[in-house]
Chains A and B, each alone.
Chain A
């Protein structure tokens, strides 16, 4: 009896395995989201990164795709580096704002050819170290990195121990700060706030009490309108000076932000792909939408709608 059950179970298992594998190889590079195209419509899946600028890009692209081109747009919250992997696997169709990931570019665009370039976003990004302008005015020499150690005492907090605090934000952002502090011989400790929201809360609190602080921050960013900040000059950026992440001792570059598309989508994506390749706006336009989302607390959709209504000549040019 038991013997027969076992044989039967074995046979069933083998059969199941055969059914599974019998239909041939499964392609791990065509892994659409199960929630995409739910109602039989043409669907585009866009990846959204956590910062508001990226949300602004996606909001406007989504609004136009839905209202002008008749697509249904799914958005997936995913950070930049995993977004590359998701793009390559076909889980998302586009990444609209990439801050420069040469390693991933080498692997997926040049190597595996599963991701295609989508052209410039039109916005130039720059990462740097910033102090509040009220502090820079009182102590003009703080804006040179060579003098930072002089102010380490003033910038000490509970989290930074005996050193000055360099405030960093989300774990997902491009940063060389730990290496920079080390290689420039600075008496500072990098403190990660854990998320951009936490970092912004912290900065606003400092600004309210007009306390000095030193933070990792980036442009374009809407917070500059609320808390004016002045950049601290780091040793000048030269091509390739950040090649070895351990030995970086120079400033961050000015990066023309890039769009990337899934290779299959770029080829067969029809109007949506053509539109996303044409999508190209300015730092001011992005800031305008971002400020509506972050400060006026509009939903991304409402903010995009407002911008689209006021800027028809700009987006007309993007239509395929």
Chain B
């Protein structure tokens, strides 16, 4: 306890000086490297070509999928179980009809989160129907139900193990931490390798992606249980199992429900991205529409995704504060059955076609108008396409070419130095190792292309995010205005962000960067605002009394004191931006994301898997380089 109190009194300057010398050294070396070596790509002698073995592994799987016992007795059953359960849920949803499903959504929302959300839920499902997306929405919902159930169960089991045993906790924690920062796209390839394109692969990828938060939070909840209460339970003679069931798990209720909430959101995000490997449903509609740059159709499928996300998130959040009595639930069930039966008797089960509203056409007309008028040649400010072209030509190209021209060893050293400044020697080692692995995999240039997009997007995000956050920290009214906007933006699945940017910037690297910026901005704004607000008011007051201007206060008091929050914001920005830049491969972002898409499209899993592994390494490196763990570990 005392250590925490005395820690801030530790003299900082010498430590800082000691920690900044690696950066200086790296900069000098990089400059030297640029002068000495012309082109600095990873040497071919140090890379391993995995396409041969990976290709033959993939061939072996295809050839043996219907005869080898491993598939007959294990993967085959897994796959069948997934198909059966998704089908079961889907049939139930269809049998309930639109009336039944909408009623069920409204009542569940009402019981768990109150009347306002119930109205929202009913409206949301009605909009899905109005947009003509009823069946795809049900397909996505069916897939989600199965995936969430599986990931909550898996996460709870892992979390229980980690919560009860220290050794398991120590073994699992780094794995879960790492899984948390990896882009969703990287999870797609390995499951496709085994299951082929289709619903089973999509569900399993979703489960792998959505289970870690549940496991983390379960473990956290169990481990942070009040020792006093446990002691009391033990002194009353409770056995280990009784203590677990009557004390530890109820005490961890908040974390458990938060875990479920997080799993739902991650599953939705993934279920949509998994359309690339045949998940069907809403994501598939977005994917198809993006492939033909049909913004209107993409929006029609994107709106239900957003609504689903908002409703699910709010309901799960509401469930944390309320419960419900058994009788009320029975009443609700009866009401749902009644609604379903009425729907069945009075009309069709699917949403009546006469009630469809076609938004694709007006939206496309608006986009066409925009393309004709705003796209280019607007006096003074130029058009959106001009911005995109300038951004590509003046920012993305130089950064990419610069990175690719840098000798590989200089880049490795720069990565290590940066990680050493921000984190510990251990994070630095991981970062350098991950970066080297990219070279060994033989995708050095493509990875640097992706990296250049990430760097550009992070820079833009931070400038915008810090700017907005400074404003929000100063003005309570602005913060209150921003909060609902940030809430909605943070719950939206990554895929949705691709739609508007394609409309605005066309196809290429610039729209990928723009989508990444918009996706990462809310988290950065939120963390930075909190950090700036948390600055000790006494320090600010004393600065003011010394006559510091607003800018001086900000630069010399607020920013330095909020340093941990700012570092966390940078870390989050990097992780979130990477996730979207990779998906940008679907709208012409090229580089690693494109390689994954290419691998899937050509059935060339070797290319896809290598790119996927490189994405993992890049994510690991970026996270470690920006991870402010130095103080925590010490």
Name A's B-contacting residues (CB within 8 A): 1-2, 5, 20-21, 25-29, 31-35, 38-39, 50, 52, 76-79, 81-82, 84-86, 89, 91, 107, 112, 114, 158, 170-172, 192-198, 201-202, 297
Contacts and interface: CB of A to CB of B under 8 A. Distances in A.
B48 interface: no
Given A82-B601, A158-B397, A38 B90 contact: yes
A1 B280 contact: no
Contacts of B284: 76-77
Among B86, B278, B288, find the residue whose CB has the most chain A CB atoms closer than 10 A: B278
Contacts of B73: 21, 25-26
Given A28-B66, A39-B94, 12 more contacts: A1-B240, A20-B77, A28-B72, A85-B196, A89-B196, A89-B198, A171-B597, A171-B602, A196-B292, A197-B292, A198-B293, A198-B587
Interface in B36-74: 62-63, 65-66, 71-74
A170 B585 CA distance: 11
B507 A198 contact: yes
Nearest to A77: B288
A297 B72 contact: no
14 contacts: A26-B72, A33-B83, A33-B280, A34-B142, A39-B94, A50-B288, A82-B197, A89-B198, A114-B66, A158-B393, A171-B597, A192-B590, A194-B590, A195-B507
B385 to A, nearest CB: 9
Contact of A76 (B75, B278, B291, B589): B278
Contacts of B241: 1, 5
A297 B358 CA distance: 13
Contacts of B590: 192, 194
Nearest to B595: A171
Nearest to B203: A34
Contacts of B288: 50, 77
B163 interface: no
B559 interface: no
Contact of A85 (B62, B86, B90, B290): B62
Contact of A197 (B81, B507, B508, B589): B507
A1 B240 CA distance: 8
Nearest to B284: A77
B86 A34 contact: yes
A21 B78 CA distance: 10
Contacts, number: 157
A82 B600 contact: yes
B629 interface: no
A2 B598 contact: no
Contacts of B84: 34
Interface residues of B: mostly helix, strand, loop or mixed?
A: helix
- Counting chain B CB atoms within 10 Å of each CB, the highest count among A5, A91, A170, A171 belongs to A171
Interface residues of B, number: 62
Contacts of B65: 28-29, 89
A28 B71 contact: yes
B500 interface: no
B75 A194 contact: no
Given A29-B66, A107-B62, A85 B603 contact: yes
A195 B585 CA distance: 10
A22 B76 CA distance: 13
A27 to B, nearest CB: 7
A170 B66 contact: no
A319 B598 CA distance: 38
A38 B198 contact: no
B58 to A, nearest CB: 10
Interface string B263-296: 0000000000000001010001001101111000
A196 B197 contact: no
A283 to B, nearest CB: 21
A170 B397 CA distance: 22
A89 B529 CA distance: 52
Contacts of B601: 79, 81-82, 170-172
B200 A194 contact: no
Given A34-B86, A38-B90, A297-B361, A27 B594 contact: no
A198 B388 CA distance: 15
A172 B608 CA distance: 13
